[in-house]
Amino acid sequence: MDWLLVAATEGEIRPFLNRLEAVCRKQEAVCCRDQGLPAGVSVRSFYWGDQRGDVLITGVGLPFTALRLGAFFSGRRALGQAPYALVVHAGIAGSFDRRYSLGTVVEVVADGFADLGAEQADGRFADLFELGLLGADKGLFGEEGYLYNTRPVFASQLPQLRGISVNRVHGYQPSINALLERYERFPPQIESMEGAAFFLSCLTFEQPFTALRAVSNFVEPRDKEAWDIPLAVERLGDFLCSALLPERRD
C-alpha cells in the first residue's frame, strides 16, 4: 500500500521517521529522495519491498497546510498520477475533553475552521458556514460547518473525535467558554492548527484519508508546564509504526 504522511513539523513525527529510516536501510531501500515538485514543496520518499511511503512536512498552520498539500495534490493530478491508497495527517493537539488523557491517540472524523468568519456588533462570532459565504464549496460541509471523514480507518482501535482548527490556539478561559457555547450542539473535543485544511484538501482531491492526533495538553488557561509533548509524540510514533510500517523481524 502506497501512502502519504502529512505533518506540520518533523518533530511531531520524528520517532516514526527514525524507525522508517531504519526499516528502509535494513532492506537496502532508497531513502529520502527529493522529488521535483512545486516551489516550497518537498516530499521524502521511502521504499521497502514493493511498497512506498511519502512524507510531506507542510509547516505550522492552516495557510501553509492548504498551500503545500493543495499544490502537491494538484501537481500529482496534472501528471496523471493515481491517488494514494491512504493519506495520513499526524500531529499533536489540545483536548477539550478530559476523558482523553495526555498521550491518548485519537482519529479525528470531523473538523472545521473555527475562527474564519466575522465578529458581529454584539460580540458574537459567525463563521463562513453561518454567513452563507462558502459558495461552491458548501457541499463539502455538514452541520455547524464541520468537514467529515465518512470512512474512518481506525474506528475499531482509536477514539473517534470532532476537532476544530484555529489560527490562534485558545488559552484564555472566557474565549474558551464562548467557543464551547457557540458549538453547543456538537462541541469540539480537540483543537489543532491544521486539521480542517487537511480535510478540505483531501475531500477536494478525492483522496482517502485519516487524521491522527495525540493529546499533548488540555485546552484551558495556558500553562505549558502542564503539557506533555514528549509523551504525545512518543505515543503517536508508536501508533504510526504499528499502522504503516512492515513487521520488524530483528
Calculate mean pLDDT across residues 97-126: 94
pTM for the full model?
0.91
Tens-digit pLDDT profile for residues 125-178: 888 888 888 888 888 888 878 999 999 999 999 999 999 999 999 999 999 999
| Of residues 141, 71, 78, 156, the one with CA closest to residue 111 | 141
C-beta of residue 21 within 8 angstroms of C-beta of residue 45: no
| Of residues 244, 220, 245, 202, the one with CA closest to residue 76 | 202
Cell of 73: 495534490
| Of residues 93, 97, 107, 96, the one with CA closest to residue 216 | 93
Tens-digit pLDDT profile for residues 181-226: 888 889 999 999 999 999 999 999 999 999 999 999 999 999 999 9
C-beta of residue 130 within 8 angstroms of C-beta of residue 112: no
State how beta strands 209-218 and 43-48 pair.
unpaired
Domains and CATH numbers, the chain: 3-244 (3.40.50.1580)
pLDDT at 37: 58
Calculate mean pLDDT across residues 12-17: 96
CA diameter of the chain: 64
| Of residues 242, 2, 235, 210, the one with CA closest to residue 111 | 210
C-beta of residue 112 within 8 angstroms of C-beta of residue 196: yes
Q: Determine the residue type at 151.
A: R
